Structures are given as structure tokens and as C-alpha cells.
Amino acid sequence: MPLFLKPIFHEKIWGGSRLKEFGYDLPSDYIGEVWGISAHPNGKCEILNEPYRGQTLDQVWDEHRELFGDFPSQEFPLMTKIVDARESLSVHVHPDDAYAYENENGQYGKSECWYIIDAEEDAEIIYGLNTQSKETAIDKIDEADYDSLFNKVKVKAGEFYFIPAGTIHSIGAGVLVYETMQSSDVTYRVFDYDRAQDSGDKRELNQVKAKEVIEIANESINIPTDTEIIENHKRTQLVSNDFFTIVKWNISGTLNYMKPREFVLISVLKGEGQVIIDGEVFDLVQGQNFILTSDDLDTIFEGQYELIVSYL
């Protein structure tokens, strides 16, 4: 039985209202993130269908590990979200697993990846630093010399970026992103445009920890993708590494789908249709998120839509 999940909305100072395009009933016009699949303590998605209706994903993970192939991790390992940057996010960095475990109460570190759903003309992201050494980067942060420090990259819809832990980054204004990441909410802000919250206070920076974890290497920015045609459907592998594999499917008609792992995370980016799992039919619409578990053996997709599939 698949696990269909209720999304969680997070209001952000830089958020907007574009997530309405996915059929979501937003609680405000400043929603920066919808967490589509999450078992993190800061946002535990609720199961919408039987037999686990009303339980949260972390509960099912803890009590029914057999649904996930008895995966050995203590915590559910992945998270997916859609980010609506009405304004630019803070410039920030995430730690790796070793640093987070030691300094953030045993949490995961955070490597992540972005699929650009949409971007306004000349919209940018920040990816990495324009320095050759960590020492120079730290000096520039200490001197608040940011203009030449951050590496800015113009983006457009359909591009994909892998952001390993330690990489300085930010999503710029006018960019809509689908994000898959390690299940972590640890962020160290380096720069936040001197913005004030409703209280009048500026958001906290975390430069001491940020300077400890930043890395300079910017090997692959916009990762080339690997595309093939399967049963007349387009399958694009966006990335595969030690943290996750991400695949985008453009489905038109009927696809007999074979899970690559015991459980996979699936989000509907566009379109609509049905998924038939072991003979049971489920309607699919834009904005839905679900998990195929180890119990789901025979899966058929029918319709016209785009999916992002994430797995370990």
C-alpha cells in the first residue's frame, strides 16, 4: 500500500503565493516552502490513506520498518519540498553528517539538489564562492565584503543543481525549485540582506559555524543529465550519489513501472492521471506526494504528467 502524504506549509520572510499553482490551499501569501515528504521533527507529514491514515511518516517509519525494506537508518533519510522564492533566500551553508552529528545533537548533515521548475528572466542562484582558498573566504566574511565573494549563476527552467554539504548557496528572487535533500533542517546563515522580521529584529546569522564548514570546491554546477526513452516515456536521471538518486519522468500514456529500491519518493510536478498499484487505482494530480513501499509490487502509471522520483 502506498503512503499518500499531507503537505506542510512553512511561512518565510522571502516566501510568496506561487505554490497555489500546485493546487495547494495556502494559509498565507508568504509561504516559502511546502514540505511534500518529510518525517523531520520540524515538519512531520501525515498519512492520508488507510491503513495508516492519521499517523505521521515518522511513526510509520518507526513502527513498520518492513515497509521500507528494514532500512537500517534510525531516522527517515530523505525530505522533499518545493521552494517559492518571491525574494532571495539568505546566503547560507549546511554541514556534512560528521559535523552535524557532533554539533547538532546527532542530526543528519545536509546535501541537497535543486530541479528548477520555473525562473523569471535573468533570475539567479548563488552557488559557491569566488575565492581560491577558505582563508580568503573567511577574511571576506569577517570584513562583510560580500559583493565579490558569492558566485552568481543565471538559471532557467529544467536545469538541475547538486549542492553538497559545505557549499555556500542561495535561491534568488523569482525562482521556483523542487528540492530533494537529506532529512535535515540545519542551516548556517552567512548573509541575509540586512532584512528585518515583523518584530523589527534581524534574523540571526550563524557565521562562526558557517566558517567552520564551508568548502571552496565548485566541481559541477549545472549537472548534465542522462535521458533515455522507455516505453515511449522520457526518463531523465538527474543525479545519483551516496545521498540519493533523482529521476524525472515525463509520462504520456501507460508506463509499467518497476521500483529501483525497496521504497521510493514520488512527487507530481505537472499534469494528472492515475497510478494502479497491485490492482488498486489512485488518482494523481499536480502537487501530490507519495511513497511506494516494499509492499507495492506491481505499479502502472497512466496519464499525462511529470514526476520526480527520489530514492537512496
Q: Which residues are annotated as a binding site?
A: 94, 112, 169
Cell, residue 236: 531523465
Cα 155 to Cα 101: distance, rounded to the nearest angstrom: 33
253 sits in which H/E element: strand 245-257
Q: Which residues contact 100 (CB under 8 A, 6 or more apart)?
A: 106, 107, 108, 109, 110, 184, 186
* 3-state class (DSSP) for residue 192: coil
Cα 180 to Cα 277: distance, rounded to the nearest angstrom: 24
Residue numbering of the annotated binding site for Zn(2+)? 94, 112, 169
303 sits in the region (left: phi over 0; alpha: psi -120 to 50; else beta) called left
Q: Which of 189, 195, 235, 261 is catalytic?
A: 189
Let me know if 189 is a catalytic residue: yes
185: amino acid identity, one letter: D
Cell, residue 9: 506549509
Catalytic machinery residues: 189
